Amino acid sequence: MSVPPAPHEIPADVVHLEDYARHAQARLHPAVWAYLSGGAGDELTLTANQQAWQSIKLLPRVLRTLHGGHTHTTLLGQSLSHPIMLAPVASHRLAHPDGELGVAYAAAAQEAGMILSTQASTRLEEVGQAFLHEPGHGPLWMQLYVQHDRAFTLELVRRAEAAGYQALVITVDAPTSGARDRERRAHFQLPAELAQVNLQGMATRNTPPQGSDPLFDGLMAHATTWDDIAWLRANTHLPMVLKGVLHADDARQAQQLGIQGLIVSNHGGRTLDTAVSTAWALPRIADAVGQDLELIVDGGIRRGTDVLKALALGAQAVLIGRPYVYALATSGALGVAHVLRLLRDELAIAMALTGCKTLADIHPGLLIQDGSGAIGA
């Protein structure tokens, strides 16, 4: 299941993000492709994420003065050249031997923010050193699954703090894996040589008593709760962002705990199939929390127009996941940088063609939902 190094060139027929998918599929082992590209169940949520952005239409403005326009923004007090970040994805070395280090160099070169997965195949310290030593880099955040070994979890937090990570992203929507049929049909297993190195040394989880439910009395007995979020909040100086919030009541509860940001996400359709699309959930979360929380959204973002729509619906930034992993598999770090450049350029084009000089000019009045009327009307 080993992956040969990708050629350090971009295929001539790649002109937008989705073009990388077919090249990646051709290069990767079928089981790895199933793991990276698949979703839960019938993959309805996976499909709905993209369709939801596509169903929103743009109502452009013309003859605006746009000289001096830009895509700059801030997030958690950190400056970004553009509102596009790389989502946490496990085991980058499944796609390319350079793994997370290649991704880090590419993201830093394109001034993009990066969120490193707890389940990375490279130590978090190595990624931090590679990313933060590059001039012009964007924010570097650490994604965290709260482990059953809470002491080990706190040790991970201390390592991230010491390595220069600027925020913690706590994934809250995956206390158990989804029923990923495509992955199971392909019999995917993580190769031993691609161990999740940041989790080495953690205590083994206790086996549930005989006759008990293996899910509810096993895995879920150690699942993260709001009490754990409050405990983490009290034990780190880093800003905290919750990833995987779709319900307005959960957003309000996070707000009450002093959480600084939310990522509106359904885990890329990989956990609960038929969960709502992120484009549907985003404006409802924005309405629930007002201006007090920074909002980020992922799930199906494939075009610069999708980024503009997300910002119009209340997000301050977006995450992409699968597209940059496909690009990594196809062209290594160069492919990742290319994906970020394509999306940033498309966003700038969309802004110019809708009359938006800066991100602050993007608003719901630019959007039409399936011809039924302006969303911001």
* pLDDT (tens digit per residue) in 103-132: 999 999 999 999 999 999 999 999 999 999
Q: Is 267 a catalytic residue?
A: yes
Q: 271 near 246, Cβ under 8 Å?
A: no
Q: What's the mean pLDDT in 320-333?
A: 98
User: Residue 373: pLDDT band by 50, 70, 90 thresholds?
Assistant: low
List, for residues 138-158, the tens digit of each pLDDT value: 999 999 999 989 999 999 999
Q: Is the pLDDT of residue 376 over 60?
A: no
**Which domains occur in the chain, in start order?**
19-200+224-363 (3.20.20.70)
List, for residues 191-242, the tens digit of each pLDDT value: 988 888 999 987 776 666 776 766 565 555 568 999 999 999 999 999 999 9
Taking each helix axis from N to C end, the angle separating 19-27 and 322-353, rounded to the nearest 10 degrees, works out to 170
Q: Is the pLDDT of residue 42 over 90?
A: yes
Q: Is the pLDDT of residue 47 over 50?
A: yes
Nearest to 85 by CA among 107, 61, 101, 103: 107
What pLDDT score does 176 carry?
87
What pLDDT score does 39 carry?
98
Pairing label, strands 317-320, 367-369: unpaired
Q: What's the mean pLDDT in 2-6?
A: 58
User: Residue 272: pLDDT band by 50, 70, 90 thresholds?
Assistant: very high
Top pLDDT among 43 and 205 is at 43
Q: 369 near 280, Cβ under 8 Å?
A: no
Single out the catalytic residue among 82, 96, 148, 267. 267
Q: What's the mean pLDDT in 332-351?
A: 98
Work out the mean pLDDT of the chain and round it to a whole number: 93
Q: Is the pLDDT of residue 29 over 50?
A: yes
3-state secondary structure of 113: strand
| Sequence-ordered alpha helix ranges (H) in the chain | 19-27, 30-37, 44-55, 99-109, 124-132, 150-162, 181-185, 226-234, 248-256, 278-289, 304-312, 322-353
What pLDDT score does 377 carry?
44
CA dist., res. 327 & res. 24, Å (int): 7
CB atoms within 10 A of CB 288: 17
User: Residue 344: pLDDT band by 50, 70, 90 thresholds?
Assistant: very high
- Which residues share a beta bridge with 86? 114, 320
